[in-house]
Amino acid sequence: MVKKHERRRPLEYERKIEEGVFDAQTLGALRKLMKLNMLDAMGGPIAMGKEANVFTAFLKGEPRAVKIFRIETTSFKDIMPYIEGDPRFRFGGRRHEIVFEWAKKEFRNLERAYHAGVKVPKPHKVLRNILIMDFIGNGSEPAFSLNRIPTEEIKNPKKLHDKLLGYLKNLYKKAGLVHADFSEFNVLMKSEAEPYLIDFAQAVLKTQPNAQMFLEKDAGNFTRYFGKLGIKVDAQK
């Protein structure tokens, strides 16, 4: 059951409009999502970034993750390499339209990955610049990203290597996607045996013109990270 003070949290966030956390339109979209029974309370921040902020939210007491893309800082120039040649989306010239399509792109990419059996947060709903997905963590405590775990604390590097390599292969072969930004920063460790891939807005179809370049970049980051763990990686795999 959601506590009374949790139900009041959305009102508290109204005070933060002037601080740039939420604008009035985003706050209105959050209210609409509540009416759609996608969430009934907002919690605190999980991660704050240049292009998006991620918050904990709740639905009937169970945590969810809410990713809110920043309309004012998203650059069309920066995201063009990830959307060229993708027939699924039409990007207008207005900033808010670009951000809405970018959020929709992450939702659809997560859907493809999830249905291909890749461990990703299950997406539930996208509305305007807001994406609701599964909360990855233990209880209400969010999982750490892999980069925050000292390499010497990884108990079985080879097992982690094999699991993540399997994810990336399934992503490519079954989902038809290239992550395009794979690194230890975009892996959440619910446990060492259960890592999750995150941040899929930039993921591209493997038929996209820049897909091979992004695949090579992902392979390079994979090789670099596991090289630090003493594992020799054949990037061609």
Active site residues: 181, 199
Token match 């750490």: residue? 144
Contact 171, 116 (CB under 8 A): yes
Dump the DSSP string for the chain: ---HHHHTHHHHHHTTTTTTSS-HHHHHHHHHHHHTTS-SEEEEEEEE-SSEEEEEEEETTEEEEEEEE-TTT--HHHHHHHHTT-TT----SSHHHHHHHHHHHHHHHHHHHHHTT---PPEEEEETTEEEEE--EETTEEPEEGGGS-GGG-S-HHHHHHHHHHHHHHHHHTS-EE-SS-SGGGEEEEETTEEEE---TT-EETTSTTHHHHHHHHHHHHHHHHHHTT----TT-
Token match 């775990």: residue? 149
Going by C-alpha positions, the residue among 112, 105, 118 that lies closest to residue 67 is: 105
CA–CA gap between residue 181 and residue 203 (Å, rounded): 7
